[in-house]
Amino acid sequence: MKSLIKLDAGLSRRSFLGGCGACAAGLAAGSGLTASGYAAAALQPDLLPKAKAKVRLVFSYSPSDGPIWPNIGYDFEKRKNEILKQFAADCPEIEFLPAVAHEVADAKRILEGDAEVAGYLVYLLGLGWADVPDTIAASGRPTIYADNLYGGSGKFLISYAKARRNMQQATDRSKAWRVAGVSSRDPKDIAAAANCLVAIEKLRHSTVLLIGRSPGPEVEAIQSVFGTKVIPLDFAPLNQLYQAADKEKARKWAERWIKEAEKVIEPSRLELEKSGAMYLAMSELMKQHQAQAITINCLGGFYGGKITAYPCMGFFQLNNDGLVGACEADLRSTLTMLAITYLTGRPGYISDPVIDTSTNQIIYAHCVAPNRVFGPGGPANPYHIRSHSEDRKGACVRSLMPLDQMTSTLEFDPARRQVIFHQAKAVANVDEDMACRTKLAAEVKGDIDKLLGYWDQWGWHRVTVYGDIKRPIQNLASLMGFELIEEA
């Protein structure tokens, strides 16, 4: 058996330098991927959102012509130029629009003309007591407070504490302030928070295809909160493209999967060619609608005879290539996967978790998992091609994922404006002929008994991604007005 990859999968601030969108985490795991490199690695780069996020960068301070923090005569212009130069390197997917606000009236004037911006970064350069950050945050727009240490520290601490209290105590999440705060001497920490605005902007310009399931009230919540377009379709367009798929191309996809797999166990070559045709059909449907994600009622469709091939191998390929293929017409998990991809550049995968309290482990079980968990340009781990355990039909992947790595597992709920989150360290790829084929066992970080407490409210599915992304998720949740629930 090929050895499993053991890498440092911690997703640090430096992993976000290429932009919080899909290019960001290519810098992690030693892939050396840049923003342009990510697009080249993706199979369908034309589907990736390309528009830069416009962010109003508000420099707030009082003039230094008297005694003041940082000090009398402090060169604010020099510091502003240093910051702009740093952001140009660290945030290539953001167009910063600089402005200066000494007083509340300045902040109000800035807000009046800013319908186009994705959010605000209020950089507190010097000690000024005007309520500039509070005025910006009260607009309800995503806002980041950044402290120029020993300069704006007093105002930062007071204003950010006030903003956090507003968010924590809000009874109506839609009216809560949407503020993230960064107080760090490392400019890359501020860039990482700013790049979360890129993920928000990409979600706003994305489209999800929902196949074989009637749209429910969650579609309205998704479109209202994320701005993501959801297009419901029945099985007919997918089946038409499946029947029309180029048989030679389908065979080539089957050959590729067979060649790259460590082994093929149950599925026949014909079954994999059917999977190849289904992948081509999904890809074409996504191109037709310029969609970045597709989710299909796969079990209902296959069991009901409405589709004749499982989409699992196609989902596997889409997720490896920087797009999103999601199981069971689960829109909430699909949007979570899309947000993760834009935030980290890494694929998330849906699972039906199983908890084993005897070993303090959670097992993330499902039949669709990527084998490029660090992104399209990262290393590949081994995989087996199997049938589905439940019905012994079709073709799917058992991904033998990297061990000794921290993973982060979450789910966004736009209707409640909440995100649930836990972490666990990957320790084993379980091989049992029960339930779904991929079964990644991980030791829970935190209280496993607490982890038993939220499933009735959130359902069985969760989405797992490699890396410690707690801080990025905290920032993203705050900027979207979501409450973060730590379930372990």
Q: Over range 416-442, report the average pLDDT.
A: 92
Question: Which H/E stretch holds residue 420?
Answer: strand 418-429
Which among 233, 439, 416 is positioned nearest to 329, based on CA atoms? 233
Question: Within 91-208, where are the H helices?
Answer: 104-112, 132-137, 153-169, 187-204
Q: Are 304 and 212 in contact (CB under 8 A)?
A: no
Share the mean pLDDT of the chain: 89
* Domains detected in the chain: 50-203 (3.40.50.9100), 206-486 (3.20.14)
Q: How far is CA 103 from CA 43, 81, 143, 162, 318, in A?
A: 49, 21, 17, 18, 49
- The yes-or-no verdict on residue 11 having pLDDT over 50 is no
Crossing angle between the packed helical segments 312-320 and 269-289, to the nearest 10 degrees: 60
pTM of the entire structure?
0.90
Give the max Cα distance, the chain. Answer: 80
The tens digit of pLDDT for each residue in 165-197 reads 999 998 888 889 999 999 999 999 999 999 999
Q: Which two tokens stand for residue 48?
A: 């990736």
pLDDT band per the 50, 70, 90 thresholds, residue 20: very low
Q: Residue 404 and residue 3: Cα distance in Å, rounded?
A: 13
Helices vs. strands in the chain: H and E counts, helices first: 15, 19
pLDDT band per the 50, 70, 90 thresholds, residue 41: very low
Q: Cα 154 vs. chain centroid, distance in angstroms? A: 33
The tens digit of pLDDT for each residue in 326-361 reads 998 999 999 999 999 999 999 999 999 999 999 999
- The yes-or-no verdict on residue 36 having pLDDT over 60 is no
Give the pLDDT score at 314: 96
pLDDT band per the 50, 70, 90 thresholds, residue 411: very high
Q: What's the angle, vertex CA 266, arms to CA 261 and CA 267, rounded to 5? A: 75
pLDDT band per the 50, 70, 90 thresholds, residue 302: confident
Task: Write the CB contacts of 67 (distance below 8 Å, at least 6 apart in sequence).
Answer: none
Q: Residue 235 and residue 408: Cα distance in Å, rounded?
A: 33
Give the pLDDT score at 17: 38
326-362 burial: b if 16+ Cβ within 10 Å, else e: bbbbbbbbbbbbbbbbbbbbbbbbbbbbbbeeeebbb
Give the pLDDT score at 162: 97
Give the pLDDT score at 173: 86
- The yes-or-no verdict on residue 417 having pLDDT over 70 is yes
